[in-house]
Chains A and B, each alone.
Chain A
Amino acid sequence: MRLPYISAFFCLLTSAAVAGGFETGPQGARLLGLGGAATALAYHPAAAFYNPGALGMRDSLLRISVGGMAQARRTSFLSTNTRRKTFQDMTPVPSGYLFASRYLGKGISAGLSVTTPFAYDTSWPLSWEGRSVVQQSSLYTVQVQPTVAYAISENFGVGAGAVFTHGRVRQLRALGQFGAFNADAEYKGSANALGFNVGIYGRSSEDLSFGISYRSGMRLQVKDGTATFRNVPETDAGRFTSSNQMETDVYLPGTLSVGLANRITPKLNLLFDFTLTNWTKTDSVTFRFANSQAARASQPRRYEDAMAFKIGAEYQLDPKTALRVGVLYDESPLRDEYVAPDLPDGNKLAGSLGCSFAMAPKVNLDLAYQFGVLATRTARDNQAQEQTANIIGTYRTFVHTAAVGLSYSF
């Protein structure tokens, strides 16, 4: 084995979950440590997000978990034509999470989750070879989800939540049609969407439990975004007029997850998750604006549904310390023919490590790190499709995710 691979392997060992498309991966420091295998995980307020059914299982009255996360996707691109290499700029995506749950009595629990499950921030050097395809592209979302769960029995719970999503998108590209090399187009907008989340949770014994949860897909429909054209030469200014009625939409896919948890020993809990993500409705990213025919902006994506497998283990080292390890394999929704620089995705293998320390009675500090490697992707293009922009070359991507948080229960 060549040295870089060996050290990459250690990188994997010493690090930790990531997800396909523009999913950001596990939400929360504890879940990141588990590689995101959390559908059958009870006694944690993140159940409000992962499986509302599990929220009804209780061993305490109030749980709060809060923290911050950061994800850095690093991609290198090797151009097939010019043989030149370009590194993406480092643009860590900051995010955070807040989970809370409270038992209300009569088997009913209420929960709240604030998460950022979908985000990406791609930033290429402004003068890179594909600058007229994309220079910068980003999506940020925040989801707020009030949840109610009901424990039908001590071993079986159901739950449902309403998901409010706010998202904003931005895209920047150089026009490249003119000698004016600084002429560019920027599209920006934001939108809200509403969805839901349902789940069931059950266990056959103290050792074996399962969960099924479904999160609906939702469409962020931007109606009044802005399209701004800068530095367009005077002769062509009429062809590129800025607009504040830019329309676009982004489909945030629904997911169906099935999870299994097995407490092998009192100290060791093993978790398995299988997730199917309905990416198919993500057809293209198109920016529409009525008054400018000259600046077409459409990037086909034609995503396919994708599966993910997650395995996590949690080991209670001593009453104060818990250690976690997780592995994730996430299939990319992106087909070969649509690999593009705005979000060069690939099948992902990620490993994660995490731990919790009891800092004070009932207060835990959670730490986790995940390292993901995306399969190398090669983009093809069809130059005869003059309205479809792409650049051909090979992408290699590593994803680093770190999380730190506090959880509190009593």
Chain B
Amino acid sequence: MLAPVLAFSACVPDQTEPTPSAGSLDMSRYVAVGGLYSAGFSNGGVTSLSQRYSYPNMLAYQFSLAQPGISFVQPLVEGTAGTGYLKLQSISALGVPVTEQVPAARTTIRAKYGIANSCGTTDTTYLYSRAQGLSLPNNLSVPGLRLTQIATPGLGLEANAATGAPFNSYFERLLPASDSRSYLQAVSESKATFFTAMVGLEDLLPYALKGGECTQRPTTTSNDLIIANLSVLLDALTANNRPGAVATIPSLKTLPYFQLGAGDKVQNRARTATGNSQIVVYIISSLTNEARPITNDDIVLPAYLELVGQPVTYTNPDGTQETLLYGMDARAPIARAQVLDATEFGRVDPIIGRVNAALKTLTDPKTGKYKVALVDVNQLFINVSGVSGAGGVSGGVNINGVEYSGDPVRGNFFSLDLYSLTPRGNGLVANEFLRQINSYYRANLPLLDVNTLPTTSLPD
């Protein structure tokens, strides 16, 4: 009876799958803190599908392999369209995805006049339907979360939506109505047994995404507050020796949004298109407000790349009219709002570097203040999409036979908005977290087979 079974099993080259283990970690209440990357923001918005593919949700699933039965509640948005999202129409000759905006499902729109430098247009604030459930969800990530605002009371108070006070509509929907707790308070009261955090980018990213216009410019004061509040947040998260993992944030140079329109690329494209190797591309300098030749550190925003080289009518001082090619003449420079110029870029990217350096110091295994795992998400982004600009490196990784790169749409990593991630991108981030958690906490958590994930989180 036993002999044939033995003989058979011996003739098959078996191997034993290790039992998933979280080491000494208690994952019974895992709480994720962060901004758009942690909230499952993808293709320019949040949908219940994109939330399902947020890296914290995937992490929670892997944790449950070691500790079955743990739950991870996400504040799922309503309807399939969620907050609205981008849908692919085609890919332009420049490699930029041409998209269509799918409107949000059931939102309250409140018009609110923006601050002085918001280009004088109406700034719109949305209110999204409140998340289900009475207590705080496990995924406390909030798109647009600014470290400078974590201690601000009333950040999620509906009454603040129209007053011009600091307000975050994604945070508002996590809290019960008329709750004026600060984000920090909410985090402190979340009763987490384990946390992940990826914070700091959204103090800086909106300014860069808008080409340095229409949003508040980072100042020395706000930058110092980012660094100071990083510790304040980590203090709250690591209270009572709570274990966790904290991630670095991606440098702007790794995001396709800031790679596609790098100055040299734009200039070379202009020269190729016109067949004139002497063509110089001009932009409006944010310092002098005057036209100057583009440099490689000036970044034309993806949405405006198509405009470069289009014929525009120019009226000379003597009243005669002339047709010029947009951007290819000092008299028709690329507009300020369409370019993140070197000065504006310099206000943002070095601060990202400061945040990452601070994280490394604070979590240094020997000398750091916080005994938590550090996940170098910035390095992952560098590996995948490379770093543009002078001294840049080219990116691309091969995961089990599939290439991942910073290519829009085809690179599998970045979603259609050119900076947030696809489900596969989230999977790679989750795997990076799992690797560090495994090594720091001597856990044995299986990684994800990211190639099984969708390449986009678009609802059907």
Contact = CB atoms under 8 A, between A and B. Distances in A.
- Does A pair with B? yes
Interface of A: 3-4, 7-8, 10-11, 74-78, 81-85, 87, 129-134, 173-179, 181, 235-236, 371, 373, 381, 383-391, 394, 396-398, 400
Nearest to A86: B15
Contact of B15 (A11, A132, A396): A396
Contacts of B18: 83
B456 interface: yes
Interface residues of B, number: 38
Nearest to A3: B6
A132 B402 contact: yes
B456 A394 contact: no
B401 A131 contact: yes
Nearest to B91: A235
Given A10-B7, A11-B10, A85-B15, A179 B397 contact: no
Interface of B: 6-7, 9-18, 20, 91, 383, 396-405, 410, 412, 431, 444, 446-449, 451-452, 454-456
B13 A132 contact: no
Contacts of B14: 4, 76, 396
A174 B449 CA distance: 14
A88 to B, nearest CB: 9
B416 to A, nearest CB: 13
A129 B9 contact: no
A4 B15 CA distance: 11
Contacts of A385: 398
Given A74-B13, A83-B20, A387 B446 contact: no
Contact of A398 (B7, B11, B16, B20): B11
B383 A383 contact: yes
B268 to A, nearest CB: 21
Contact of A78 (B9, B12, B17): B17
Nearest to B11: A11
A389 B10 contact: no
B401 A132 contact: yes
A85 B399 CA distance: 18
Contacts of A384: 383, 396-397
A207 B448 CA distance: 63
B179 to A, nearest CB: 40
A390 B400 CA distance: 5
B405 A82 contact: no
7 contacts: A7-B10, A82-B449, A129-B449, A131-B401, A371-B11, A390-B398, A397-B13
Given A84-B446, A176-B451, A386-B405, A78 B400 contact: no
Contacts of A131: 400-401, 451
A357 to B, nearest CB: 25
A186 B24 CA distance: 47
Contacts of B10: 4, 7-8, 10-11
Nearest to B397: A383
A8 B399 CA distance: 35
B12 A179 contact: no
A386 B396 contact: yes
A179 B11 contact: no
Contacts of A235: 91
Given A7-B6, A83-B447, 13 more contacts: A4-B14, A11-B11, A81-B449, A82-B447, A83-B444, A84-B17, A133-B400, A173-B401, A177-B402, A179-B456, A236-B410, A383-B398, A398-B12
B401 A389 contact: yes
A4 B13 contact: no
A235 to B, nearest CB: 7
Contacts of A373: 13
Nearest to A176: B402
A132 B402 CA distance: 6
Contacts of B400: 129-133, 176, 389-391
A56 B297 CA distance: 80
Given A7-B9, A235-B91, A386 B15 contact: no
A81 B13 contact: no
A387 B412 CA distance: 15
Contacts of A181: 452
B15 A76 contact: yes
B447 A179 contact: no
A133 B399 CA distance: 9
Contact of B401 (A4, A8, A81, A176): A176
Nearest to A391: B400
